[in-house]
Structure 1
Amino acid sequence: MRRVAWLPTAGLVLGAIYCVAPTLWILVAATKSPAELFATATYLPSFGAGILHNIRDLTAYQGGIFWRWMLNSFLYATVGGVIASLVSAASGYALAKYVFRGRDALFNTILAGVLLPQIVLAIPQYLLLSKAGLTDSFAGVLLPQLFNPYGIYLCRIYAAASVPDSMLEAGRLDGCSEFRLFTSIGLRLMAPGLVTVFLLQFIVIWNNFLLPFVMLTSDSQFPVTVGLYSLLRHGAAEASLYSLVITGTLLSIVPVVALFLSLQRYWRIDLVTGSIK
């Protein structure tokens, strides 16, 4: 029995190593100067000021355009995450709390959108937005990401479980409009679930590469993913830029980790509330 128990443990350990090893390599490689990057052992860090020099060189590259890319990613992910979460909340709430003809068919159609990979939608989205003159713009990257089928699915499940029908009926008896019921009761009770939807959408938009790569042509509009890719292409002819790409990749992880850690307490509150119920 003990030997059998070691098998899943060994599988989990191998999976953890597989996931952690690239991140660890980025962390180690960012401490090396361009001369040390290919001349030292792979996982042997440099104890000099390599990472500080790399950050300074990255900041100086093309007048600090890297930080413009970071700001663009933050705007795309924050604005898109907030609006997409509200759209998902309203859609999930309506599908959970209102009975109307075709509700199940509509929900199944939305749920089918989860199965469509983004690479299939990128070109049609580009063609549609190009007709509207929205390519190479903030709206061109933002609009296709405001509708999140998986977020709507989560919000419907969460609204059905956390928003009591009796509370809504009491509000209607007091004369509340349906919009006020949603904003005053539905959103408040769904808030812990919306934190999860926002975080997932934030990460998806922050890591998105294909859509902004297709939509944008101006360097000043690039998110950090496309910006680092363009920097990597220049690095094919100038090897010293590889250190800047690695350092930029490390810095791009920091906001996601910080957001994840800062929102953890809301998940704990949600778990405690669920256990009490």
Structure 2
Amino acid sequence: MGLVFLRILEYYPGILFLTTNRVGAIDDAFRSRLHLTLYYPKLVEKQSIKIWKNNIKKLKEVNEHRVSRGQLPIKYDKNEIIKWVELNWENLQWNGRQIRNAFQTAIALAEFKAQSRKSSKRTSQDPPSPDPKSSKPPVLNQDTFLLIAEASNQFNDYLLQTHGQDEEATASRDQMRPANFKMKPTRIKRVESSESDTNSDSSGHSDSGSESDESDDAGPSDSDSGTEKKAKKAKKAKKGKKAKAKKSKDKAEKVKKDEESLGEGEKKKKKKKKSEE
């Protein structure tokens, strides 16, 4: 099963997002197939409050859906909830999933309390009021979230007494993730670009182009036959001979010119002596 998953992961034609908090369980074969890895640190207070505000905004959509079904909208006070979060953030330190679950649980509790109030009115001796305005809407306030937070903390304390250490220490012991991870400064170096480098790069491109042309002209390919190789070798040898002959000819002409210039210098010296006499 693992091999099938790795094969699908390698040849999957789209984008696949994988999240885990057990990074230590990833082996080298799995890691080599990950194109991009991102580390998400714990939420700071500012990020956490932003997630709370986003979930509060979603309550508008929930209320619109409730009204379309003929139900009363949920009553809530945004400022009261945010102040409660700022006051208890250090003790809670919930992640994004826990905040979303807390909102879903809070809405369910608010609806349950509203329904229980209706049922208690129906069982009383007073006749039911036909006016829907008389029924109270679900209320989402700090008391609802306080109840959820206390239940969550009680369960965390139970797990702490069971394992003898908290979740982070257990994960560190099992080599799943470090308890306190600190990012080290990058050791990857950059190439410092300058004008000389750009000039050398441009000249290098031209030189490599000329060399590639010469190699294409002179170098034999694998598909050439034996006769073509011999012909190319002979051409190359002729070119070498011509180059040598040209070199020696240029050298002889230079020597001749030097001798002529020396002879003219001696003639000038003799004329000078005669004129002085």
TM range (shorter): under 0.3
Q: Which has the higher helix share?
A: 1
Q: TM-score, normalised by structure 1?
A: 0.20
Pick the structure with greater CA Rg. Answer: 2
Larger RCO, structures 1/2 (Cα 8 Å, 6+ apart) = 1
Q: TM-score, normalised by structure 2?
A: 0.20
